[in-house]
Chain A
Amino acid sequence: MSLSHAQATQRFYDVIWPLRGALLRTASFLMSPGSQAEDLVQETLMKAFRAIESLDVKSNPQAWLMSILRNTRIDKLRAQARSPETVGLEDLDVAAPLSPPERADQNIDPAETLEQFSDREIIRALQQLPEDIRWTLLLVDVEQMEYEQAAAILDIPAGTAKSRVHRGRMMLRNSLLAAGAANGEAS
């Protein structure tokens, strides 16, 4: 049975509307500063509204919405004659997990070290990672989704999602430490 316009609107405001903050946050972290995260979110929300009948309200609406966000992002990039930056795991220039930059003090608690970076510094470092890695970290670590759920959104096997998260965390940490070391040298 198809929904009337009023019913579709109601479902949109009941189910999708409360998720717009998370959607905008993901888009803002995903895209480089100055890019049009709000436009991407608006386009995603419009697509979600048009497809609201296909949403199974008993499923995870956030995962559904994130899939639309990702597809919209890919469409936009293709329209700009670019494809999202993809990276093969073998191509990742990840320092060996236990070879962080020279200046990192191995004795410092890693959690303590990371707390020294502000949210904005962490976001900036995140935005420098390859897009596939960034997406996986955003879904698994920021939005706290299960690997299987994130993998379904990204259309990859769960094992690949796990590898990306593992490598992405190391890349992020190393990039932060390198930036911290560079700042230390500069000052």
Chain B
Amino acid sequence: MNAEPLRDEDAVQRAVASRLGKLRSFPVDTSRVDRVMRRQIPPVAARKRWRWMGQLSAAAASILIIVSLMFVMLPGRAVQASASEMAQMHYDIVSGKVPTMKADSIQEANEAIAAMAGNSVRLPDSPSAHTMSCCMRDIGNKKVACVLLEDGGAAVTMSVAQAKDMKPSAAPAQIYNGITYHVTSIGKLNMVTVERGGKWICLMSETKAERLMQLADRLKL
């Protein structure tokens, strides 16, 4: 009996399983389901959850939160986007855990984001990647425009904020095509940040960091 066909069959089985596994990161828009479900099952208000803590501890916690918020929300204070926070954001967007809006182009994404937050930063055009969906997220008290891209079969999230709102990355610097990028990795993810045209841009993906720098280099600001 020829063992070759069986080996081929195994290879096909593995290949299909692997290709189907990638669909797990296919983005879905849960915003409509979210709206309906929140109407039908209103989430428990925070104050109800705190009933057991007793009024005194709740009051103390409230004061602490207000003081913390006042401190954090001081105007002009730049925030640091940690790699773990950005990785979580990436996975939440890719897996559909956070509501996103479908967008077939950066222009559509910018229109959707402008409708959500009028004075938000505009996303730079990424001619070499396919646009899939977008959303607004918060880092600290700063608004960040996010878009999910597909680049060579890999899911890439691009997050963009005003450069003045974000602290410079402490990650090691790498120069690509004359521009300084900060490159780090967390788990399987690579994270590349750059400041260009007054914008802070962060690209995250399981694809190679060099590929992300190439992508960032081709952005049209």
Contact = CB atoms under 8 A, between A and B. Distances in A.
Interface of A: 6, 9-10, 12-13, 18, 20-22, 24-25, 28-29, 38, 41-42, 45-46, 49, 97-98, 106, 109-111, 113-115, 117, 119, 122-123, 126, 137, 140-144, 166, 169-170, 172-173
B97 A169 contact: no
Contacts of B150: 119
Contacts of A25: 23-24, 26, 28, 96
A173 B15 CA distance: 9
Nearest to A174: B12
Tell me what chain A mostly uses at the interface: helix, strand, loop, or mixed: helix
Interface residues of B, number: 37
B33 A9 contact: no
B20 A20 contact: no
B17 interface: yes
B11 A142 contact: no
B207 to A, nearest CB: 13
Nearest to A5: B44
A140 B17 CA distance: 9
Given A21-B28, A166-B13, A169-B17, 4 more contacts: A13-B44, A21-B96, A42-B40, A142-B24
A9 B43 contact: yes
A106 B21 contact: no
B188 interface: no
A21 B44 contact: no
A177 to B, nearest CB: 10
A20 B40 CA distance: 15
Contact of A42 (B12, B20, B36): B36
25 contacts: A6-B48, A9-B41, A10-B49, A18-B97, A20-B34, A21-B30, A21-B95, A21-B97, A24-B30, A25-B23, A38-B32, A42-B33, A42-B40, A98-B5, A98-B9, A110-B11, A114-B19, A119-B22, A119-B150, A122-B20, A142-B23, A143-B24, A166-B13, A169-B16, A173-B12
